[in-house]
Structure 1
Amino acid sequence: MNIAAQLEHDEMNFGNGEWFGLIPVDWDRRKLKYVVKILKRVAGFEGPSVLSITQRGIKIKDTESGEGQLAQDYSGYQLVDRGDFAMNHMDLLTGYVDISQFDGVVSPDYRVFRNFSADVSDEYLLLIFQIGYTQKIFFRYGQGVSLLGRWRLPADNFNEFAIPIPPMDQQRKIVTFLKCKVETIDEAVRIKQEQIKLLRERRKILIQQVVTRGLNPNAPMKDSGIDWIGQIPAHWEVVPILAVGEVIDPNPSHRNPEYVDDGFPFISTQEFRPGAAVELNTPRRVSRKTVEEQEERCRFTDGSLVFSRKGTIGAVRVLPAGIRLGILDSLCVINPNRRIDPTYMFWTLSSDYLSAQYGPTLRGAALPQLSVGRVRSLKIILPPKAEQLSLIEHLVFQTSTIDRAISIKEDQITALKEYKTTLINAAVTGKIKVIQGGS
């Protein structure tokens, strides 16, 4: 059976200023209070399964392993039966909705409801609810403080929310059509994501090869004396970072930075962008006093690097030249000396061989970290200064080629997801007519 869609229905009406606009003349428009019933059945016990609503659907929590954040008291939890709808109506930014495949209990903060309309299919209704989240349709009917991520859909607004309802046979066609199309799109996205993963792995291998072996496959080699490095070109050295640069803690006294509304950029790993870029349009700004104190201590120069020693260990960037900024104390500053080019230092600090040294030295269970002293003692492989320039040129060219390929695939994924969103919206609001024909 072939399933297809034509451009539009013959006649449209029922605009009424609703989110879905015009709908076909043979479709109905109905508020949710006439379609679903909100349930509030307090379990009073943990129940057969503790459920959570994720953007991949309703899942059973692994309570034995302590997955996620478990409640101390389940007395207020709600019962959910297989086939019930459940939604995280307290978070319209990152929440979701699904039909439960399990019997269980969910947080009292969730909304559980059931479809009681004989002329509305669960599958079609779920499509409506899910685009309510993915396209931020519910957001305009919500309340709260969006800047703090607290944006909810009150019960009254939920009940008054209107949806388009096509005839049942058309609902079935829409569900079947979209299931086929969405599966095809999702598979295309999955393939491109896997290709990006392989390209990134190829990029890592390339960097590792260049900064540990160089470009001459016939160069004489020697044992580095370190297991996790192995052999290196005979004329290269293995030295601690301290031998090629000054490593500085920007905030040894742990003074809090002075935040201001209109000040200087404040950099953490959140501002690290793909490649070597640093985002300067930062949400956090700091005062001139904070910047001047760090400048005096860190002595920033053209080619100063920042290296993350807390949380995301080993992320590294070259700071943009001529820009005054402050940095979080999870970063340390590295000012290279004349033995190493700053750009080459960026590449070698980005390699996997460096991360092999972190494991035994990390401190802190909640937030793994390296001490500044340990960063200074990390070993790097150092080619002669003149050779570093040719290695940089090779790495920039090769990684740029890979980065362009990744960017193209990321753009393709974005286009596929946008097409998927547009297609679902058009089908469930009657902007395209789903038809079934052929054999």
Structure 2
Amino acid sequence: MCELHESGIEWIGAIPSDWSVGRIGGLYSLRNQKVSDIDFQPLSVTNKGIVPQLETAAKSNAHDDRKLVRVGDFAINSRSDRRGSCGISAYEGSVSLINTILSPNGEMNPRYYDWLFHTVQFGDEFYRWGHGIVDDLWTTGWQDMKRIIIPIPSVDEQEKIASFLDKKCAEIDLIVSDLQSQIDAIEQHKRSLITETVTKGLHDVELIDSGIDWVGQMPQTWISIPNKYLMYKVKNICPVYDGEDILSLTTNGVIVRDLDAGGKMPTSFDGYQRIKPGNLLMCLFDIDVTPRCIGLIKNHGLTSPAYSQFVMKEGAYAPYYYYYYLMVDYTKELLHMAKNLRHSLTEDQLGAIKAPKPPYDEQVEIANYLDAKCEEINAIIGEKALQLETLEEYKKSFIFEYVTGKKEVPST
């Protein structure tokens, strides 16, 4: 192992004694040629590198407002909210003006610097050199970026490190991919279990047609009934904020917004409503972009006027209908009915949509069964998600230690 010495640069720390440091501007030159995306293939700069323009990318009619990218150039998004979006281009094309395009100078191994520029530590340093009014509009231009100091190993060492990280990180990525596939399969099993249970019940009984397309057949002792006979909307407007918890509807349910962990306090409480445990919370606006449209309220607090709070009528059990509408939300059935431009439903439209109504005791039985099963499944998913998180953190640390020479590439 080569002896280490302090680089004198805080974000880099110690490096091998035979390495040097230098500014990015000495290694790269700026390519700042404007071109048209009609003449040059439009590309996107992502955290997975440079790819053909994504369907989700914001597009403009100003076709000439693009920057030229040549094969082998390094492109990096200058905005802080796109941290980690960078890479070596395998394409000739054009990218958004918000990106900085760099052409390598002299002899180097660009793959080594690609690994270095993807580290969290470089991302923090890149951000530190930026300017802006607010965090999410913070940008780091070339005039500042070129002054950032980075480690400079020999070209042979750059090649060794890049090749080693290519191989080892590919192995880690395979494990990550396998774990993610396992999580996806377990999540799909949970969805299937919920669908089967809320539409067919827990007992082997004769089935009849429900008359509801996404339900199909249901037990003969159940009925199909419009939602307006199952629940009604309430809106308990909050006249003044008095320190209550702020609740949000998320993919993890109706949760208390953690203001200490970066959750934002509303700028205004106009229209905010008090909500009560045991009621349903639904999002009926912009259903096409809402990650989750249904939640079961478990805490007192305040929530956005964008949500609708429903109280169950006699004979309807909120936890059963939470699971039922969770099933509906998985396949976005409500979205198919929201035909207006805002992809939204009114209370009356929701009230007219039919839902199954099992006998009340069965609703309770189904909800209790799914509570227990989903708790077991979520524990397994949580364990695998923790493994994923651990692997991702290990990979980040692993890369940084090798690109800064704190660990030496094995000779075999």
Q: TM-score if structure 2 supplies the norm length?
A: 0.89
Is the deviation greater in 405-414 or in 124-133? Answer: 124-133
Residue aligning to 2:50: 58
Is the deviation greater in 242-251 or in 397-406? Answer: 242-251
- Match 2:348 to one of 349, 354, 373: 373
Structure 2 vs 1, CA of residues 310 and 127 (structure 1 numbering), >3 Å: closer, same or farther?
A: same
Structure 2 vs 1, CA of residues 105 and 287 (structure 1 numbering), >3 Å: closer, same or farther?
A: closer
Residue pair 1:258, 1:286 contacting (<8 A) in 2 also? no
Residue aligning to 1:283: 264
> Does the alignment pair 1:318 with 2:296?
yes
Structure 2 vs 1, CA of residues 170 and 395 (structure 1 numbering), >3 Å: closer, same or farther?
A: same
Structure 2 vs 1, CA of residues 56 and 250 (structure 1 numbering), >3 Å: closer, same or farther?
A: farther
Structure 2 vs 1, CA of residues 26 and 306 (structure 1 numbering), >3 Å: closer, same or farther?
A: same
Residue aligned with 1:143, SS: coil
Structure 2 vs 1, CA of residues 91 and 326 (structure 1 numbering), >3 Å: closer, same or farther?
A: closer
Structure 2 vs 1, CA of residues 174 and 325 (structure 1 numbering), >3 Å: closer, same or farther?
A: same
Residue aligned with 1:13, SS: strand
Residue pair 1:53, 1:97 contacting (<8 A) in 2 also? yes
Residue aligning to 1:239: 225
1:159: how far off? 1.5
Amino acid at match of 2:302: L
Residue aligned with 1:195, SS: helix
| C-alpha separation in 1, matches of 2:196 and 2:234 | 29
Residue pair 1:45, 1:74 contacting (<8 A) in 2 also? yes
Residue aligning to 2:157: 170
Flag structure 2 segments of 5+ consecutive residues without an equivalent. Answer: none
> Does the alignment pair 1:104 with 2:93?
yes
Residue aligning to 1:79: 68
Residue pair 1:89, 1:95 contacting (<8 A) in 2 also? no
Residue aligned with 1:350, SS: helix
| C-alpha separation in 1, matches of 2:37 and 2:240 | 46
> Does the alignment pair 1:126 with 2:103?
no
1:74: how far off? 3.5
> Does the alignment pair 1:138 with 2:138?
no
1:102: how far off? 1.4
- CA RMSD in angstroms, aligned pairs only: 2.8
1:187: how far off? 1.3
Is the deviation greater in 152-161 or in 45-54? Answer: 45-54
Structure 2 vs 1, CA of residues 258 and 51 (structure 1 numbering), >3 Å: closer, same or farther?
A: farther
| C-alpha separation in 2, matches of 1:90 and 1:258 | 39
> Does the alignment pair 1:197 with 2:184?
yes
| C-alpha separation in 1, matches of 2:63 and 2:212 | 54
Residue pair 1:79, 1:106 contacting (<8 A) in 2 also? yes
> Does the alignment pair 1:229 with 2:205?
no
% same residue: 24
> Does the alignment pair 1:21 with 2:21?
no
Residue aligning to 2:324: 348
Residue aligning to 1:390: 365
Is the deviation greater in 192-201 or in 126-135? Answer: 126-135
Deviations 1:290-342 (A, max 9, x none): 45xx45xxxx5541111111223672112234x2313323x222100220222
- Match 2:171 to one of 184, 205, 226: 184
Amino acid at match of 1:137: E
Amino acid at match of 1:106: V
1:30: how far off? 1.1
| C-alpha separation in 2, matches of 1:45 and 1:237 | 57
> Does the alignment pair 1:30 with 2:6?
no
Residue pair 1:79, 1:105 contacting (<8 A) in 2 also? yes
Amino acid at match of 1:436: S
Higher relative contact order (CA 8 A, sep 6+): 1
1:258: how far off? 8.9
1:249: how far off? 6.5
Structure 2 vs 1, CA of residues 418 and 134 (structure 1 numbering), >3 Å: closer, same or farther?
A: farther
| C-alpha separation in 2, matches of 1:354 and 1:92 | 29
Residue aligned with 1:125, SS: helix
Residue aligned with 1:351, SS: helix
| C-alpha separation in 1, matches of 2:177 and 2:17 | 38
How many residue pairs are counted as aligned between the two chains?
405
Amino acid at match of 2:115: L
Amino acid at match of 1:280: R
Residue pair 1:266, 1:286 contacting (<8 A) in 2 also? no
Residue aligned with 2:400, SS: helix
| C-alpha separation in 2, matches of 1:200 and 1:374 | 30
Residue pair 1:224, 1:231 contacting (<8 A) in 2 also? yes
Structure 2 vs 1, CA of residues 95 and 177 (structure 1 numbering), >3 Å: closer, same or farther?
A: closer
> Does the alignment pair 1:220 with 2:206?
yes
| C-alpha separation in 2, matches of 1:99 and 1:20 | 22
| C-alpha separation in 1, matches of 2:296 and 2:383 | 25
Q: TM-score if structure 1 supplies the norm length?
A: 0.83
| C-alpha separation in 1, matches of 2:101 and 2:384 | 39
